[in-house]
Every structure is written in structure tokens, then in C-alpha cells.
């Protein structure tokens, strides 16, 4: 059980944080002035970069190629992004956006790629 929590705990934690953030009613979402778009979309990218990295970490125990784990981590993140946007449809003052799923997908790719690169790099 301890090994499972070590592997999957980070992904579950990131998913919970994303779920809570997307459950915030639109009237309670803070504004960031001129940089509002950059901060909010940057938050999407960061959240899904962390989620994909957490999925990649969780999947490292699996046998098989690194490429398959990389692709699966990204696919799981994108599926979660789509389900999160669907969830937002039911949150007052919030809407679902395919553009946000695309931004989340880009963040997922970035996060998984960075973790994969770090793992392949020789230790200093």
C-alpha cells in the first residue's frame, strides 16, 4: 500500500487540487488585472504539466517502453482535462472551453517531457 501511495499519491493530489479549483464559482475566481489571461492560462499549463509528470512517475513501475509510459501519461492528463472542463459546465459562472483543453494538453506534454528528460539525463 505504501508503494502505491508513493507512486499514485502525487497524481491524486494534483487531480484533487484541479478539481477544487474548477469547483470555484465564477464570482469567486480572482481577477489579475492586465495579466489575467496569462496568469489563468499559465495556471492551466502548470497544473497539467504537474499532473502529467505525476502520471509519468506513477507509471514508471510498469514494464514496457518509456515512450508508451510517456504517451499514456499525456493521454490520462488530457482525459482528465476534458472531464474537468465538463465538470466546470455545472459550476455557477463557469463554462467549458475546448481551448482550455488544448492549453492543458500543451502543459501535459511539457510536464511529461521535462520529467522524461530529467530521468534520462545523467546525474551530476
Question: Number of folded domains in the chain?
Answer: 1
Q: What is the pLDDT along the chain (124 residues), one digit of tens a residue?
A: 888 899 999 999 999 999 999 999 988 988 898 898 999 999 999 999 999 999 998 988 766 678 888 999 999 999 999 999 999 999 999 999 999 999 999 999 999 999 888 877 776 6
What is the 3-state secondary structure of the chain? CHHHHHHHHHHHHHHHHHHHHHCCCHHHCCCCHHHHHHHHHHHHHHHHHHHHHHHHHHHCCCCCCHHHHHHHHHHHHHHHHHHHHHHHCCCCCCCCCHHHHHHHHHHHHHHHHHHHHHHHCCCC
Which domain covers residue 52, as residue numbers? 2-120
Amino acid at each position: 500500500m505504501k508503494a502505491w501511495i508513493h507512486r499514485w499519491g502525487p497524481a491524486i493530489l494534483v487531480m484533487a487540487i484541479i478539481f477544487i479549483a474548477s469547483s470555484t464559482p465564477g464570482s469567486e475566481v480572482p481577477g489579475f488585472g492586465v495579466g489575467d489571461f496569462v496568469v489563468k492560462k499559465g495556471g492551466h499549463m502548470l497544473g497539467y504539466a504537474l499532473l502529467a509528470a505525476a502520471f509519468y512517475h506513477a507509471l514508471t513501475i510498469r514494464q514496457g517502453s518509456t515512450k508508451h509510459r510517456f504517451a499514456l501519461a499525456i493521454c490520462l492528463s488530457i482525459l482528465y482535462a476534458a472531464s474537468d472542463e465538463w465538470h466546470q459546465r455545472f459550476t455557477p459562472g463557469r463554462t467549458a472551453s475546448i481551448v482550455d483543453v488544448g492549453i492543458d494538453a500543451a502543459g501535459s506534454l511539457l510536464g511529461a517531457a521535462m520529467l522524461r528528460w530529467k530521468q534520462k539525463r545523467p546525474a551530476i
